[in-house]
């Protein structure tokens, strides 16, 4: 249980743990490349550790000590048939991206996950992989995990996905490394493009044309990867500092890949004072230091065009909206219903307990602010981002806020509570 009390300001200089999406991909691409890969800044959180343990179960030697990881690549065809079921835990990225790699293997594997992951839609990934030639089954005709995959003999496809999702896109592109010919994924809007950037860094030819990406099979060579801080983790501190007048927070080394920076645009639109310094780029990924000064925020509109660039930040943006003056509408965010929890329902129900005027819409949220936040007992729904968003709201509440089932924060942000204490004044 996490107990949060009201603070008067946020100040200090911090850094946040490594980017979750980049950490997963670094281990996956390293495992199927030739030679050794070293990863620094790796996210030592439960989700990425699920990826590490799945690859170890397929014979990949991985040394992990905190944020430093060394992977002995086994080459494209070097993975071994796992002797037991692979467990992706709570991690959708592990299950979906790994399905793409497993579809390319000449062996049988079974992938499962925790109670939440076993409820999340998998047909969006298994359908195109089956079309490429993999034999895949799962509960409810292959829609839900556990998934059984007999891979191999793939042909490239052109796949148009109705949802902008980096997990779908990446699964198909990774399978494309094992397919004859070329593989193209076309999405309605560009989702995070870490897979494309990292594949190019490992030596694979990747072409982008508008919202379509194409890969051809090739050989991946081991790399040295520096993972920047995760903007989705920084988001909780960004909102806390931005909405608390008098605050001054520096967050060092935050990933600023433009497919992820929607939160900066929206907070600025709401009146937040955010500056970026020391902008740099390594391994095809931008990063920089963020300076946030507290201000009064105003309500805004978040619509479907920007949603893919801030998909994981919507729970904490709902908190920013609760503190802002005026109405905020979030639309085009129906995908939030199939995340680690139904995030629209979860955040609406728990913020209401804290005194926020919030209504769940069919594909979004309507939030009226500012609200007199009052401490209450709330629940995380076993969803790390819901737990942390509620903690941020608790910083503005009269009285104590207690968040039950907060252990799930370790999924993406071990040390969140300690870091909060460090900067709360």
Q: CB of 247: closest distance to ligand S3P in angstroms?
A: 27
Alpha helix (H) residue ranges in 191-327:
194-201, 231-242, 262-269, 314-323
Return the number of the residue (331 or 368) whose C-beta is nearest ligand S3P. Answer: 331
Return the number of the residue (206 or 243) whose C-beta is nearest ligand S3P. Answer: 206
Angstrom distance (rounded) from CA 122 to CA 145: 7
Q: CB of 151: closest distance to ligand S3P in angstroms?
A: 21
Beta bridge partners of 183: 215
Put residue 32 in one of left, alpha, beta given phi > 0 → left and psi -120 to 50 → alpha.
alpha
Active site residue 325: no
Q: CB of 166: closest distance to ligand S3P in angstroms?
A: 3
**Closest by CA position to 90, among listed 347, 416, 345, 408:** 408
Angstrom distance (rounded) from CA 163 to CA 169: 10
Residue 118, phi then psi, degrees to nearest 5: -75, -10
Binding-site ranges for ligand S3P (CB under 6 A): 21, 93, 165-167, 170, 191-192, 311-312, 335
Q: CB of 264: closest distance to ligand S3P in angstroms?
A: 17
Chain centroid, CA 207 distance in Å: 24
Return the number of the residue (23 or 64) whose C-beta is nearest ligand S3P. Answer: 23
Q: CB of 260: closest distance to ligand S3P in angstroms?
A: 10
Angstrom distance (rounded) from CA 86 to CA 55: 9
Return the number of the residue (229 or 375) whose C-beta is nearest ligand S3P. Answer: 229
CB distance 37 to 223 below 8 Å: yes
- 6, burial (CB in 10 Å: exposed 0-12, middle 13-18, buried 19+): middle
User: C-alpha distances in angstroms, 354 versus 296, 330, 392, 425?
Assistant: 20, 20, 12, 21
Return the number of the residue (74 or 384) whose C-beta is nearest ligand S3P. Answer: 384
The one catalytic residue among 19, 47, 114, 312: 312
Angstrom distance (rounded) from CA 175 to CA 36: 22
CB distance 344 to 336 below 8 Å: yes
Return the number of the residue (4 or 129) whose C-beta is nearest ligand S3P. Answer: 129
Q: At what angle do helices 314-323 and 343-353 cross, to 10 degrees?
A: 30
Angstrom distance (rounded) from CA 150 to CA 118: 19
Q: CB of 414: closest distance to ligand S3P in angstroms?
A: 16
Beta bridge partners of 229: 18, 254
Return the number of the residue (202 or 396) whose C-beta is nearest ligand S3P. Answer: 202
Largest Cα span, the chain: 61
Return the number of the residue (21 or 33) whose C-beta is nearest ligand S3P. Answer: 21
Tokens of 224: 């040295």
Angstrom distance (rounded) from CA 43 to CA 414: 9
Could you please report the per-residue DSSP string of 340-357? Answer: SS-HHHHHHHHHHHTT-E
Which positions are catalytic? 312
């Amino acid at each position: 249980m996490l107990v949060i009390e009201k603070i008067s300001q946020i100040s200090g200089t911090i850094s946040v743990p490594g980017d979750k999406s980049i950490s997963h991909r670094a281990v996956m691409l390293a495992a199927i490349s030739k030679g050794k890969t070293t990863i620094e800044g790796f996210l030592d959180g439960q989700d990425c550790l699920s990826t590490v343990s799945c690859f170890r179960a397929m014979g990949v030697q991985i040394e992990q000590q905190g944020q430093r990881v060394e992977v002995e690549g086994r080459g494209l065809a070097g993975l071994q048939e796992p002797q037991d079921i692979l467990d992706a835990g709570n991690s959708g990225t592990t299950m979906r991206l790994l399905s793409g790699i497993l579809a390319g293997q000449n062996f049988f594997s079974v992938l499962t996950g925790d109670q939440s992951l076993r409820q999340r839609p998998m047909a969006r990934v298994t359908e195109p992989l089956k079309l490429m030639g993999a034999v895949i089954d799962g509960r409810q005709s292959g829609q839900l995990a556990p998934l059984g995959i007999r891979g191999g003999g793939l042909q490239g496809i052109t796949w148009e996905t109705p949802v902008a999702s980096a997990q779908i896109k990446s699964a198909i592109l990774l399978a494309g490394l094992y397919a004859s010919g070329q593989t193209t994924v076309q999405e309605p809007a560009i989702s995070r493009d870490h897979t494309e950037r990292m594949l190019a860094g490992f030596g694979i030819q990747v072409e982008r044309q508008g919202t379509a990406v194409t890969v051809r099979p090739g050989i991946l060579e081991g790399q040295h990867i520096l993972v920047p801080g995760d903007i989705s983790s920084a988001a909780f501190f960004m909102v806390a500092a931005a909405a608390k007048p008098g605050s001054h927070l520096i967050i060092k080394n935050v990933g600023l890949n433009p497919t992820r920076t929607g939160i900066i645009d929206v907070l600025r639109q709401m009146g937040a004072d955010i500056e970026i310094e020391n902008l740099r780029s390594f391994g095809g990924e931008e990063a920089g230091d963020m300076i946030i000064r507290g201000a009064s925020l105003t309500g805004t509109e978040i619509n479907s065009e920007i949603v893919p660039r801030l998909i994981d930040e919507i729970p904490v943006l709902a908190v920013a909206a609760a503190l802002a003056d005026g109405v905020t509408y979030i639309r085009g965010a129906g995908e939030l219903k199939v995340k680690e929890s139904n995030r629209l329902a979860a955040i609406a129900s728990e913020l209401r307990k804290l005194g926020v005027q919030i209504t769940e819409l069919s594909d979004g949220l309507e939030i009226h602010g500012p609200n007199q936040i009052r401490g209450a007992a709330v629940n995380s729904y076993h969803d790390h981002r819901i737990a942390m968003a509620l903690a941020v709201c608790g910083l503005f509440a009269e009285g104590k806020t207690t968040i039950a089932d907060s252990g799930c924060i370790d999924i993406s942000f071990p040390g969140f509570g300690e870091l909060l204490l460090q900067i709360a004044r």
